[in-house]
Structure 1
Amino acid sequence: MRAIPESQSLDIVDLPDPEPAPGKVIVDVAAAGVNRADIMQRAGKYPPPPGASNVFGLEASGTISAVGDDVSGWSVGDEVCALLAGGGYAEKVAVPVAQLMPVPRGVDLVSAAALPEVSCTVMSNVVLTGHLAPGELLLIHGGSSGIGTHATQLAHALGARVAVTARNQAKLGRCRELGAEILIDYTTQDFDAVLAEHGGADVILDIIGAKYLGANVKALAPGGRLVIIGMQGGVKGELNIGALMAKRASVIGTTLRARPVTGPGSKAMIVTETVARTWPLIESGDVAPVIDSTFRLDDAEAAHERLNSGDAVGKVLLTLG
């Protein structure tokens, strides 16, 4: 099969087709999502977990072409999308059945590749970890990103209020269309000051990390939950414990890729919750995949450049076939 394994040059090479091991299926890939984690892995800063494929790609959609032993509930010919620890930038990928998801009704097969990583990330961090409730205020850093556009829609559909940061009015306008009501241009505004005018954020979904730590704590409402899922702004920050205690707030760091496939806190649990709670909102039209652009597999370099430019709104996809 043709695939793009880990390297800095994104060369397409021929690799053996994956085999349908017990508990796994083989998916013929229609499209794969491009994520910042891929760019970090390419730079040598985010290696795949032990035992994972060294082929890029943390999500994909396609059609099941082979089924391993001990697999039930899935058949050859089923259209699926999948959360991956690696392997999506390829014509075929082996997927543990616990990480498979049906394509939601009303979503085409290529567009479905835009869903697994963002939907599982948002469900895991905003709902299962952040415990966002109706009427609460969610602050999303990077509101125009793939995660941001999905989180905005999901939170709005769940009855929460949404604040977002983005770097220009065009991006903020798109966030407004998706349900955000508090729009913050981080190039000209201090988000903590803006949030203070609204009583603070009950949940903050943060992709920046150390650079925003102090301001994030200031931006929290009493009892607020800061959930850090990225480190674009560094890994070491200074935490004012007194300010955190005064607000009875919490700071939580999480990740998705390195979680176990099954068991407590596993990908299986997150996938199950995502299909049960997010898929109906997609099928009703309350949440939709937001796709910025698509590129062919042999143009993966351009896809990475598009994502890394900071100009994308929503997901960047690679198509195969």
Structure 2
Amino acid sequence: MRIGVVPPVPMEPFVASAHEAVNLWSAFFTAPDRSALLETARLAGFPENYSAYARCLYGLIFDLRIEAVYYPQPGVPKEVLKAIEMAAEQGVESVPFAFPLFRNDQRLSQALEALRRRLGVDPAVLEAVVQRLHEVRTVLRRYDGLQMRTAAFSSRAYVSMLAQAMDPRGDLEGLKRRIERGILDYRDEGRERWTRVGIVGLPPYRESFYETLESMRAVAVYDEWGLENNPMSPSMDLTFLYHTCSLPYGLKRRLERVQREAATRRLQAVVLAVEYLCESLKDEGYFRVNLGLPVYVFENRGGDRLSSAEERGLKRLLEEQVAAP
């Protein structure tokens, strides 16, 4: 069976299964040509006023001939959920992965066990996959550590590497080599002196965002979405790995994680990336009041090029950090 997985549903049981699984966010973010996916969605009747992520996800489901979609509950944007529901009307199975409403390792363990059984995965095979993924993520931790310490890579390269790592497609050794090549490709561009930015929320997928950051001498050294979906704890206990994930557990848990990362990574500003500005007021207000860092809200919905107003807002945020003592 061909299965599509929407993060932060854990990928490990799917990698260990006999099914062909694809991380739909990773496939969307790293797609070389999203226009083809948008066209597939349009021809299939998906609303054109929805976000590019939802439309492309719908296109991916049909282009990749996905037979079942596993998605997180809670934690999926409503338009993505709409895409899954519309696909279900066309015969695609939709399966929620229910994170506990509150952090509870016993209930999370039960949910993971139910997922393992549903996929028909042998416990020993799953254990072996977790071990191999641990080796991959050890290399990924080196990549992330290099970015954290020296801002070694462009923002686009950094976020893309984390997105690629979410979708091993069963080729764990190949993924490990790609990350190692990324580390070896390091070139000192002097970014360690640039403004250090953290990305919170679904990463910006409008290409010009990263071009604009680069032109303003700012670099992303933290990607909440990418790191939460690539748990890099030394532990190889699957329940523990995802018990530490804060994304499904509300703003307070996320804030605690982001604050720790902000201190460790010496963040100077945060970009809160959202699908729609009108739906972000609660999140925006909470982070602005409690985070202790300047916050710029970036709307993913929109054309590829940033508007002049968006460029001015981002420039103003970054210039304030340069001027700060």
Q: Normalization by structure 2: what TM-score?
A: 0.29
Structure (1/2) with the larger strand percentage: 1
Q: Normalization by structure 1: what TM-score?
A: 0.29
Structure (1/2) with the larger helix percentage: 2
